[in-house]
Amino acid sequence: MKGRTIGRHFRESFKSLGRNGWMTFASFSAVTVTLILVGVFSVIMMNLNHIADDLENDVEIRVLIEIIEEEGQKNAAEEQLLAQVQNMPDVASVAYSTKEQELEDLIKDFGEELSLYEQSNPLHNVLYVKAINPQQTAKVAEEIEKLDYTYEVLYGKGKVENLFSFLNISRNIGFILIIGLLFTAMFLISNTIRITIFARREEIEIMKLVGATNSFVRIPFVLEGIWIGLLGSIIPVIVVSITYYKLYDILAPRLRGNMLELLPVTPLLYQVSVLVIGIGLIIGMWGSFMSVRKFLKV
């Protein structure tokens, strides 16, 4: 295709947007409203998924080591248990904590009254274990329970399984909802563009009757769809970015230090912006291409 022809297609696509102002505005509005919903829902789902990941990663196994009075035997037993746990294929990390450290943490959390136990510390030395896959926590805990020198293995049995089940269900529901929203966006936007092109079917028929090729007719319409998708995605990107930026400024300081933390503004807004613009461009191009095709058979 010659450069002159390409330039003509671009000029014609821009002129058509102006000539068909109301239909262009209708298509632009449909794209804008739908992509705002897509952008907002994407931000919500990405943050919920982030929170779910944080909750999973906070799950750990607390292994109480048997109390052995003889110092040499105690050290050998703890080294053996530590090595066995570290060599487990599903274990990501192991941290050792003495009973003195455990008591110190209890005093910080529950008050100086517990300092009375410093003279006769009844606590155990502890291993804090995290699984590579948090959902394998119960399995890893069961394997550790079978090892020698383990007094008790704690990981929130029953509650942890319920938490993982709830998070998995939430992820699946969110995935289904966002796929449904994307299909709804495709349907609404492509249908609006199809109505726009339907109103200009006579223009297409005349061009075909005077000998224009299919590609010569189709390309300006496809370019129009791209411009509509691109222009219609700009406002959603601005709205979502400003709204999330302001919410992050308000909520992030209040949530800092808690288990629930929002995703930082960057790269989240870059990712959502690329997603929204990409959807606008693809649906605009696809909707125009499919709509023009049926009117090319003259």
In a domain, residue 224? The reply is: yes
pLDDT of residue 244: 92
Residue 237: pLDDT band (50, 70, 90) is: very high
Q: Are 179 and 105 in the same domain?
A: no
pLDDT at 130 over 70: yes
Gap between the Cα atoms of 57 and 46, Å rounded: 16
pLDDT at 298 over 60: no
Q: Are 178 and 284 in the same domain?
A: yes
In a domain, residue 16? The reply is: yes
pLDDT of residue 111: 72
Gap between the Cα atoms of 145 and 247, Å rounded: 45
pLDDT per position as a tens digit, 16-49: 666 666 777 777 787 888 888 888 888 988 888 8
Single out the residue in 154, 183, 207 at which a domain terminates.
Answer: 154
Residue 258: pLDDT band (50, 70, 90) is: low
pLDDT at 268 over 60: yes
pLDDT at 1 over 60: no
Residue 243: pLDDT band (50, 70, 90) is: very high
pLDDT of residue 16: 67
Q: Work out the end-to-end distance of the chain between its first and last CA atoms, rounded to an integer number of angstroms.
A: 23
Give me 252's structure tokens.
């992030």
Q: Are 146 and 92 in the same domain?
A: yes
Q: Are 231 and 203 in the same domain?
A: yes
pLDDT per position as a tens digit, 42-95: 898 888 888 888 888 888 999 998 888 888 888 898 899 999 999 999 999 999
Gap between the Cα atoms of 227 and 14, Å rounded: 8
Residue 295: pLDDT band (50, 70, 90) is: low
pLDDT of residue 168: 84
Q: Are 193 and 276 in the same domain?
A: yes
Q: Are 142 and 45 in the same domain?
A: no
Looking from the CA of 18 toward its CB, the CA atoms found within 13 Å total 4
Range of the structural domain that residue 45 is part of: 3-55+163-293
pLDDT of residue 135: 86
pLDDT per position as a tens digit, 96-108: 998 888 888 877 8
pLDDT of residue 20: 65
pLDDT per position as a tens digit, 178-225: 788 777 777 776 676 677 677 667 777 777 777 777 777 777 778 878
Q: Are 98 and 134 in the same domain?
A: yes
Measure the CA dihedral 261/267/268/271, to 10°.
-160
Q: What is the mean pLDDT of the chain?
A: 81
